[in-house]
Structure 1
Amino acid sequence: MMMEGKRLLGCLLIALLLGGCERGDYANEAARRGILLLGNGSDPKALDPHLVASVGDSNVMRALFEGLVAYHPEDDTKLEPGVAEHWESNADHTEWTFRLRRNARWSNGDPVTARDFLYSYQRILEPGLASPYASMLYILKGGKEYNEGTLTDFSGVGVRAPDEFTLVCTLALPAAYFPQVVKHTSWLPVHRGTIERFGKMTDRFTRWQRPGNHVSNGAFQLRSWRIHHSVVVDRNPFYWDAEKVRIREIRFFPYDTYTEARAFLGNRLHYTYTLPAELIHQSDGVRADWLHLEPYYGSYFYRFNVERPPFNNPKVRRALALAIDRRAIVTSVTRANQEPAYGFTPPSEGGYVPPNLLRFDPDQARALLVEAGYPGGKDFPGFALIINTSEAHRAIAEAMQDMWRRHLGITSVRIENREWGTFQSQVIKQDYDAARAGWIADYLDPSTFLDLWRKGDSNNNTGWSHPDYDRLLAEAAVQPTDAARFAKLREAESILLTELPVLPLYWYTRTYWLRPEVKNWKPLLLDNHNYKYIRLEP
């Protein structure tokens, strides 16, 4: 009966989405003209790679910019040359040398040089810029110290340009996976002349990001940016590999989940950023070849502000975690083939297996709540779960709220929606009780999940730290083999899962609709598509 009810709900939702919806030939005509129409979830925070942090922002950055190493079109474990034609390291992987191609150009025709990368890495590490992703460059020798202000001379940071087309990176610790790291948005270059035409190196959100001013080095260049409407990029004629670029234009639309589903059904999108849970297994009015359910290297969880009572008590945090039936959430609420997360880090093809210390154990949860001084939930302080506005996030929060009420007697939980920008601001300022969160790996390694919870990491935002945790991460970084490194990381994750400043819920899948005329859009664990390889065949 429950599944039949959900099927009926999906049918009704399809009918509502199609109601009054013009099913014209817009997407087909766009495909014929070489224009790719993408749902992208929300407006980008910026068009500056050093100021963005979300997945949607990164989607736009990948179209506009190219780093030393690019994303492979079919396999995230492989490396695709970007501005660097090739690279090599010393024996212990602490020094990496990148040889840049001489025909790389900015969208204004200027050559892309090693000095552009040197300038860009200094810029993102400048304390005055307050980049949300500066910590990604802490892997460079002296990077952390420069960003924190204890090192004031950038020449002490492990990056140098011995000539126009050679960049040498010296790392704080060995990292055989470093070429995977530099694919990330935070390592993208910016054009110095353009940045400084409109302000200082550390000025944020200046006019350089506007159409007509923006200069980039990727396969596409900025044509327009209309807030709450779209970002439009078209082919960069100066891109070094322009002959391979088949799409003439990409339009990114900041639609919410239901708006983009309606747009897709109305033939106004080629791709949806995600899907409402009610439509994932819906067949009426939906073509079978639209639906894609794919593995995704990411974790969905909640943060606790451990500096606020009652979350400053680890017993409270553990009680709340043990009272959650994750299996029920993924089978009855999200229903997109997600795996319940009994650890924080997803299992990886590289061999890392998380400790998985969590379980559904309401009896133990109730006992811990008694020890914390709240028997049967009595006198438990009221608190808010904040979510960025989304029906999917609300449904999960409501399921958690209900489980805490039924299993622990806690009735004082509020669910509060926030617009995305407000939500981000509250989390960064640590102005919350418990906040929805998700983390998609920056690169294919468990360290990208566990480094988040180091003391002082810009993405921590919980108030939690543990000296043994930080020590184990440091020890992991210098291990000679992945097996030894993973063993240290498992020890660190065991501390995280005992202390629980975060409450893991499930490991992601990618769930979306894609029209069959979009070609070379392959399943990728990081979902970072290299747009120059995408084709449209109407």
Structure 2
Amino acid sequence: MKKGIALATCLTLLFGVITGCSNSTTTSQPAGQPSATPTEATKAEPMVLRWSINSEPPSMDPGIAVDADSFDMIYAAFEGLTSYDLNGQLTNATAESFTNTPDYMNYTFKIRKDAKWSNGDPVTAHDFVYAIKRNLDPKTASEYAYQLYYIKGGEEYNTGKGKAEDVGVKALDDYTVEFNLKSPTPFFRELTFFPTLFPLHQKTVEGNPHWAAEAKTIVGNGPFIMDTWEHKSKIVFTKNPNYWDKDNVKLDRLEISMIEDNNTAFSMFENGDIDWGGYPASTLPPDAIQSLKDAGKLMVADNPGTQSVVFNTNQPPFNNKKIRQAFSYAINRQEIIDNILQTGVPAAYGWVPTSMGLKADGYFKEDAEKAKQLLAEGMKELGLTAFPTVTYTYDTTDTNKKVAEALQDQWKKVLGVDVKLYNAELKVYRDMRSQANFDLIRFQWGADFNDPINFLEMFRDKTGGNNHPDWENAKFKELIDKSYNEPDLEKRKQILLEAETILMDEMPLAPINFRGSPYVKNDKVKDFIIFPLGGAYFKYTSVVTQ
């Protein structure tokens, strides 16, 4: 089968770097060779990985979760049609094979007959159909429902204009699921790796509205079972004896501590109490990065993503484009990268990561004088004689705090405006962001799949689940819709380039830097995977004690 789209991201393996690009295949692919299995003597002791996350996962429901901590836990307990192997290739997972039509509008997956739920029930094509239609149901209120809009009838059902029976996913038999798409989607197989397309155990979901909030009521189909969930304290996973590929799962137990303070998490790593420091478990304290770099211990996961400042475009003063532009042009991005992030990541002068190939040199540059001019013009248009005090909201980490203070200082020096800072606990921050209860707010987006549309389509509709600036533009929306139906990849790229040009002119958000996430690890940890697009995968991990 031909590759429909070049997959530029590479899988980061944290024990020497191996890279590879995912290729379509019609047969099951074995995983790359894991590290040597411990001796029988070593096996007498349970193999345990000690991990940490920043906060209580809001939900273990693949259709509801929106945050990184929840996703990492979900990938331990659930599995989709596809996953990634140790060679960095997208590989068949719960699906044993697939086919697609040459126009990329129909995909058919064969489900493994040995795939089972953690309670022993078989995983079937019906479980995928149920999950997708349930996640599209407006009553479910899935923020990632738009990821399912590639499926014919998906958007119509989710927006109340269509019916569930018209959604283009169906079980041809118990072990064959077919997707009919509304337009050519060469990256659809890659998208099946995303949790919104994971199967759900219907009896469990319908039998208890709170099924995803307690360990004892979660029924998954992944490599691990959630054994314990002590809320706001710890989570323990154990190996799933019903998992189809259990022979490749080396860990007996995964012990996860919830540690909100990153300095505490790093101290625990240094003391040997946990096996990982930094991404994707936590955030390394910025004061520790240079010394780790000097000692040759620092590693950086390079996953496509962008950190930005989002403006609330619904209310003054950021309902004015020129004022949004002024705040963006006043940011000294390299100063933030050099003095705070210290990881050598690129400054961002566009929203879509440069690895996705739209416009490498970006759409604008810092310009203090232009920023001052734009601010004056914007204030005049709004009838303001003095700039109001506005508040920048960010989520709690030392790095985010230092970035916020740098932005505050830069806006004061360049624009002469006073910006207050509000440090919100993670759950409060997420609620404020989702409800547009802010003036300016920190927002980092990591790719869900490797295509520019993943960074652009979230702004197609004002009411979109991740459209935090509540911004909408008719021409931008027209271009996004046009891209959905353009089979020529080069023409499609030009359409998306035009769309991003509009986005960066209107500036509902100001990009700061592209993502690069630092970490350190216990040398005994082998075969741990950071997914190509970010996030933790424990399936192949081992902890070699001798």
Could you report, residue by residue, the CA deviation over 1:406-431 in whole angstroms, capped at 9, with x for unpaired residues?
111112x1100111111111111111
Give the TM-score, by structure 1 length: 0.89
Could you report, residue by residue, the CA deviation over 1:142-179 in whole angstroms, capped at 9, with x for unpaired residues?
1111111111x311001000100000011121111101
- For structure 1, list consecutive stretches of 5 or more residues without a partner in the other structure: 1-28
Aligned residue number for residue 29 of structure 2: none
How many residues are treated as equivalent by the alignment? 496
Aligned residue number for residue 84 of structure 2: 71
Aligned residue number for residue 163 of structure 1: 173
Change (3 A) 1:124 1:524: closer
For 2:478 and 2:466, how far apart are their aligned partners in 1?
19
Matches within 5 A, 1:271-290: 271-272=276-277, 273=281, 274-283=283-292, 288-289=296-297
Contact preservation (8 Å) 1:146, 1:157: yes
Could you report, residue by residue, the CA deviation over 1:304-346 in whole angstroms, capped at 9, with x for unpaired residues?
1101100000000000100111111101121122111011111
Could you report, residue by residue, the CA deviation over 1:428-453 in whole angstroms, capped at 9, with x for unpaired residues?
11111111110010011111111121
Aligned residue number for residue 112 of structure 1: 123
For 1:527 and 1:387, how far apart are their aligned partners in 2?
21
Answering whether residue 366 of structure 2 is matched by residue 360 of structure 1, we say yes
Matches within 5 A, 1:35-434: 35-75=48-88, 78-151=89-162, 153-198=163-208, 203=209, 206-207=210-211, 209-255=213-259, 256-272=261-277, 273=281, 274-283=283-292, 288-289=296-297, 291-348=298-355, 351-354=357-360, 356-373=362-379, 379-411=386-418, 413-434=419-440
SS at match of 2:449: coil
CA shift at 1:396, angstroms?
Answer: 0.6
Aligned residue number for residue 475 of structure 1: 482
Could you report, residue by residue, the CA deviation over 1:450-505 in whole angstroms, capped at 9, with x for unpaired residues?
11211132110212101111111122222223322211111100000000000100
- What percentage of aligned pairs have identical amino acids? 31
SS at match of 1:370: helix
Contact preservation (8 Å) 2:84, 2:531: no
For 2:94 and 2:189, how far apart are their aligned partners in 1?
13
Change (3 A) 1:30 1:336: farther
For 1:387 and 1:51, how far apart are their aligned partners in 2?
23
For 2:535 and 2:214, how far apart are their aligned partners in 1?
25
Aligned residue number for residue 14 of structure 1: none
SS at match of 1:212: helix
Could you report, residue by residue, the CA deviation over 1:121-143 in whole angstroms, capped at 9, with x for unpaired residues?
11111111111211111111111
Contact preservation (8 Å) 1:293, 1:337: no
Change (3 A) 1:97 1:330: same
Q: Which amino acid aligns with 1:184?
A: F
For 2:366 and 2:385, how far apart are their aligned partners in 1?
22
Answering whether residue 444 of structure 2 is matched by residue 435 of structure 1, we say no
Q: Which amino acid aligns with 1:361?
A: D
For 1:74 and 1:512, how far apart are their aligned partners in 2?
21
Q: Which amino acid aligns with 2:287?
A: E
Contact preservation (8 Å) 1:295, 1:524: no
Contact preservation (8 Å) 1:31, 1:517: no
SS at match of 1:532: coil
- For structure 2, list consecutive stretches of 5 or more residues without a partner in the other structure: 1-41
For 2:185 and 2:65, how far apart are their aligned partners in 1?
25
Change (3 A) 1:363 1:482: same
Contact preservation (8 Å) 1:140, 1:157: yes
Could you report, residue by residue, the CA deviation over 1:373-415 in whole angstroms, capped at 9, with x for unpaired residues?
369x96101111011122211111111111111111112x110
Contact preservation (8 Å) 1:72, 1:530: no
Change (3 A) 1:277 1:324: same
Change (3 A) 1:427 1:55: same
For 2:257 and 2:146, how far apart are their aligned partners in 1?
29
Change (3 A) 1:522 1:460: same
SS at match of 2:494: helix
SS at match of 1:490: helix
Give the TM-score, by structure 2 length: 0.87
Answering whether residue 523 of structure 2 is matched by residue 516 of structure 1, we say yes
Aligned residue number for residue 18 of structure 1: none
For 1:354 and 1:306, how far apart are their aligned partners in 2?
27
SS at match of 1:339: coil
For 2:83 and 2:290, how far apart are their aligned partners in 1?
34
Q: Which amino acid aligns with 1:108?
A: N
Could you report, residue by residue, the CA deviation over 1:211-265 in whole angstroms, capped at 9, with x for unpaired residues?
2221100000110111221111110100001111111111222223112101101
For 1:460 and 1:407, how far apart are their aligned partners in 2?
28
For 1:529 and 1:430, how far apart are their aligned partners in 2?
29
CA shift at 1:357, angstroms?
Answer: 1.2
Aligned residue number for residue 12 of structure 1: none
Answering whether residue 501 of structure 2 is matched by residue 497 of structure 1, we say no
For 2:367 and 2:85, how far apart are their aligned partners in 1?
42
Contact preservation (8 Å) 2:60, 2:212: no
Change (3 A) 1:318 1:326: same
Change (3 A) 1:325 1:208: closer
